[in-house]
Amino acid sequence: MKLTLIKPTIGTGEHSLYVDEGRMEPLNLGVLAALTPACVEVSLFDDRMEDIPFDVPTDLVAITVETYTARRAYEIADEYRARGVKVVLGGFQPTLLPAESARHADVIFIGDAETMWETLIRDAQNGTLKPVYKAKPGIPQPGLLTRRDLYEGKGYLPISLVQFTRGCHFACDFCAVSQYFDRQHYMRNIKEVIEEIESQQRSLVFFVDDNIAVNREALKELCRALIPLKINWVSQASIDITQDLELMGFMMKSGCLGHVIGFESINRDNLLNAKKSPNLSGFSGYGEQVSILRDHGLQTWAAFVLGYDFETEDSIKQTLEFALENHFTFAAFNILMPYPATPLYDRLKREGRLLYDGQWWLHPEYRFNNAAFVPKLMTPEALTNACHEARTRFNSVPSVIRRFLDLKTNMRTMTRMISYWKFTPIFRREVIKKHGMRFGLK
């Protein structure tokens, strides 16, 4: 049996093809491949930079689908199904909106692959595929190493994606993760995490955990186990890590270069609006938290979500100033997006504020980084433009140089300097290129 795994791209530029130069290994497909019995021939195609060989014979196609890639994923699925090939769709979008995905698939896979994928493959081999497989979310890859050979030659960034934990116990109202995992948190055995790191060649690891610090004691234990490996690592964490200085010390000793941290907003009312509880305890504008991050040399990727009910053009300018003053290694000025099946989506729908018929991810007129709802204190266009302006100013060449000259973070060690120049220009270019992109390729 031949199995084809596909990672869809988001879309294309208005007048030119978009190639994602900052692409990372699709960990989920490496996990699916590892879960597949050895008798099945597996190939992987990444639509972000290579053509999908629709006419090459295959028995089963499995596509990973997120909200942003749904339109393109459905185009690919429709092409294969028109050729009589069976298609399985899995991932966040089919799990949270199964009825929508089912219109483009023979099989919908709900939840994490680990416990049910082998059953699905056996059913495919026996010609007894069912329309829906429902698996629960759970511990990442028990007893299983990712199949990384499938990534070779695809030009991924030189950083290995590894997962320690899944899920997050907070309930931010815009977050798809909190819905997918129902606020549960699942931890992989630390020995297996170490084994996975040792089984690959790279010395820079990205722990793709939704919030690596949900269980601080477990993270300290992981850090202790990482110290002898002498690697560098990055991850995603909530800002309340700064409340635990012992943890901060362990992270530093174990080679942590920094985290994506959801600051979301510098305005307390917006944080309340978002139910961003890790940011709210003792909130006084992040001064203390940022200086703790800096004292530990962390190169912070600050993520903002702009457009909650108290946002104005002025508050977006202040957010930009905050990011510039603190010399964040990178900052993402994301427009608040109503992801399907989130409390935010339901609220905006109730209030009649959704644009694009409430389905921006499929709408032919929607463009990347445009507001998909009507904000309270500004127009959607003003929100789109203010965020674009913030991105442009943060990513200007003088800003990139000024941020580099920060002695506490980006210039603290040679490793940090190299990592800054290796990745910041790529991420900067991608942010600029993606703006206004169409979804899908048709």
Q: Please give the residue ranges that form the binding site for ligand SF4 (CB under 6 A).
A: 168, 170-172, 175, 177-178, 210-211, 238, 262, 278
Decide whether 259 or 327 has the Cβ nearer to ligand SF4.
259
Q: How far apart are CA 382 and CA 313, in angstroms?
A: 7
Which partner from the list ligand B12, ligand SF4, none does 265 bind, CB cut-off 5 to 8 Å by kind?
none
Stretch that binds ligand B12, among 111-119, 238-246, 267-275, 389-397 (CB under 6 A): 111-119
The CB-of-195 to ligand B12 minimum distance in angstroms stands at: 16
Rg (C-alpha) for the chain, rounded Å, is 21
Cβ distance 113 to 30 under 8 Å?
Answer: no
The CB-of-354 to ligand B12 minimum distance in angstroms stands at: 15
* Residue matched to tokens 């890790």: 278
Which partner from the list ligand B12, ligand SF4, none does 420 bind, CB cut-off 5 to 8 Å by kind?
none
Which partner from the list ligand B12, ligand SF4, none does 311 bind, CB cut-off 5 to 8 Å by kind?
none
Cβ distance 373 to 336 under 8 Å?
Answer: yes
Count the residues of the shown chain that bind ligand B12, applying the rule CB under 6 A: 33
Q: Which two tokens stand for residue 223?
A: 């850090």
Q: How far apart are CA 20 and CA 47, in angstroms?
A: 10
Q: How far apart are CA 175 and CA 68, in angstroms?
A: 14
Decide whether 49 or 292 has the Cβ nearer to ligand B12.
49
Which partner from the list ligand SF4, ligand B12, none does 68 bind, CB cut-off 5 to 8 Å by kind?
ligand B12
Q: Does the footprint of ligand B12 cover residue 406 (CB under 6 A)?
A: no
Which partner from the list ligand B12, ligand SF4, none does 31 bind, CB cut-off 5 to 8 Å by kind?
ligand B12
Residue 80's Cα: distance from chain center in Å? 27
Q: How far apart are CA 386 and CA 388, in angstroms?
A: 5
The CB-of-165 to ligand SF4 minimum distance in angstroms stands at: 11
Closest residue to ligand B12 in the complex (CB): 90
Strand, coil or helix: 330: strand
Residues 245-284 that bind ligand B12 (CB under 6 A): none
Decide whether 208 or 378 has the Cβ nearer to ligand B12.
208
Residues 283-342 that bind ligand B12 (CB under 6 A): 334, 339
Decide whether 129 or 253 has the Cβ nearer to ligand B12.
129
Short-list 90, 89, 81, 128, CA closest to 111: 90
Short-list 74, 75, 115, 67, CA closest to 91: 67
Contacts of 250 (CB under 8 A, 6+ apart): 219, 220, 223, 224
DSSP output for 244-284: -HHHHHHHHHTTEEEEEEEEE-S-HHHHHHHT-HHHHTT-S
Q: Which two tokens stand for residue 158?
A: 């030189």
Which partner from the list ligand SF4, ligand B12, none does 18 bind, CB cut-off 5 to 8 Å by kind?
none
Which partner from the list ligand SF4, ligand B12, none does 117 bind, CB cut-off 5 to 8 Å by kind?
ligand B12
One-letter identity of residue 273: N
Cβ distance 260 to 303 under 8 Å?
Answer: yes
Residues 335-394 that bind ligand B12 (CB under 6 A): 339
- What are the percentages of helix, strand and coil residues in the chain, rounded to 5? 40, 15, 45
Q: Does the footprint of ligand B12 cover residue 24 (CB under 6 A)?
A: yes
The CB-of-273 to ligand B12 minimum distance in angstroms stands at: 17
Q: Which two tokens stand for residue 404?
A: 């580099």
Q: Does the footprint of ligand B12 cover residue 179 (CB under 6 A)?
A: no
Q: Does the footprint of ligand B12 cover residue 240 (CB under 6 A)?
A: no
Q: Which residues are at the interface with ligand B12 (CB under 6 A)?
A: 10, 24-28, 31-32, 62, 64, 66-69, 88, 90-93, 109, 112-114, 117, 161, 163, 175-177, 208, 210, 334, 339
